[in-house]
Amino acid sequence: MAAIASAAHRDAAFETEPDLAAELTDGLDRWADAFNRGWAEDDWSGRFGEERWRALCAAGLTGLVSGTAFGGLGLSAHQTARILERLGTICHDGGLGFTLASHLCSTCIPIERFGSSPLKARYLHGLATGTIVGAHAITEPDSGSDAFAMRTRMLRDGDDYVVSGEKCFVSNAPIAGLFVIYARSDPDKGALGGFSALAVERDTPGLSVGRSVRKMGLRTAPTADLHLDDVRVPAANLIGREGQGYSILDYVMKWEVLSVFAVQLGEMRRRLTTAIAYARERQQFGVAIGSFQAVSHRIADMHIRIESAANWLARVAAAVAGGGGASLETAAAKLFISEANVATALDAIRIHGGAGYMSETGIEAGLRDAVGGLIYSGTSDIQRNRIAAMLGL
């Protein structure tokens, strides 16, 4: 099995963890049909695959990171990454993997790590079983890369917070039952101490979800805007402490890079396997096209990108497991893997030629899905800024 475990720089914790993750990883293969059934048609029409989501729930994937006390598996960062990577190799529906990773990172992770006991008791079981889909709302019309320029505000009023504002490009919003809303809780403070995270149920009066927006890729992963008009939320739904939004989001973003891009690593491995098989089989000028350096070098480059991506991801997993800052590693991993995914997706199309360009083969969808990775979770340019800053520039 080609997994992160095959990376050259495995860390000791990964080697010695129990085999639960390995069992679950290997067992995923029998779900392949259920994860893929009807995805191409849904990708074309931009439809979320409820049946495929239910298969993910039945396979236990929605409970990867939630504690066992709440029906989850309580897996580590390494174990979670291994399983999500395997999902990426067997599941052609890139939107489904993205929806799952968003679900895990947006709500399960912050509530599990920072949430109060009552908050965990109230939401984690539903999130772990997938009966509640999670989403988080960060981006606003005037705050994208400059995330903490957000204007959505939450004001304490008795036992409640009252939240007002606009959020856009919220992954999972059309299907989510629970949102983690990041909002300004102290107008006099900046990113540090001025923002908080709040768990908000979908049917809370004043919260409305816009229509699903059409996207270039990840079309089966539904996305919509949120409108919050004096939404009254119990103060008990505060995640962590008031003013802790920055540290919660920083932690969530590390998990988001780990989870989303573990799926992409698996997708890249599948793409490479398919490209090698095609290059061996496809004959032109009387020989297999893999015998031409123009093709074989492209495949060699794909392999190197994938193994480099695996190494970066393993470093993020080690950092998340170790509890350290790891801002540079996370930024570098996100930048490298997202760009490697686009490059390997384009290489796969070139290797497959005309067939790769036709939607029926499913190969072009990989490129459309990959492009989003250059944008979400911090653009490539922002990651370069962060890396440079961490290097003292």
Check if the beta carbon of residue 187 is closer than 8 Å to that of residue 153. Answer: yes
Phi, psi of 335 (to 5 degrees): -60, -50
Residues in a beta bridge with 227? 166, 208
Q: Is 23 a catalytic residue?
A: no
Q: Which is nearer to other proteins, 35 or 251 (CB)?
A: 251
CB of residue 250 to other proteins, shortest distance in Å: 6
Q: Which of 320, 333, 324 is nearest to 76 (CA)?
A: 320
Tokens for 244, please give them: 């802790």
CB of residue 128 to other proteins, shortest distance in Å: 21
**Pattern 312-331, binding to other proteins, x per CB under 8 A?**
----------xxxxxxx---
The answer to whether 244 contacts other proteins (rule: CB under 8 A) is yes
Helix (H) / strand (E) element for 76: namely none
Terminal CA-to-CA distance of the chain, rounded, Å? 41
Phi, psi of 180 (to 5 degrees): -100, 115
CA angle (337, 341, 345) in 5-degree steps? 170
Q: Which is nearer to other proteins, 29 or 250 (CB)?
A: 250
The answer to whether 155 contacts other proteins (rule: CB under 8 A) is no
Tokens for 72, please give them: 């989850």
Catalytic residue (one of 85, 112, 256, 267): 256
Number of residues that bind other proteins (CB under 8 A): 27
Phi, psi of 74 (to 5 degrees): 60, 40
The answer to whether 282 contacts other proteins (rule: CB under 8 A) is no
The answer to whether 97 contacts other proteins (rule: CB under 8 A) is no
Applying CB under 8 A, among 57, 155, 162, 191 the residue interacting with other proteins is 191
Check if the beta carbon of residue 101 is closer than 8 Å to that of residue 93. Answer: no
The answer to whether 148 contacts other proteins (rule: CB under 8 A) is yes
- Rounded distance between C-alpha atoms, residue 361 and residue 250, angstroms: 38
CB of residue 186 to other proteins, shortest distance in Å: 11
CB of residue 184 to other proteins, shortest distance in Å: 14
- Rounded distance between C-alpha atoms, residue 165 and residue 148, angstroms: 14
The answer to whether 276 contacts other proteins (rule: CB under 8 A) is no
| Among 32-40, 96-104, 170-178, 183-191, the segment contacting other proteins (CB under 8 A) | 183-191
CB of residue 209 to other proteins, shortest distance in Å: 29
Q: Which residues here bind other proteins, judged by CB under 8 A?
A: 113-114, 148, 189-193, 240, 243-244, 246-248, 250-251, 322-328, 386, 389-390, 392
The catalytic residues are: 256
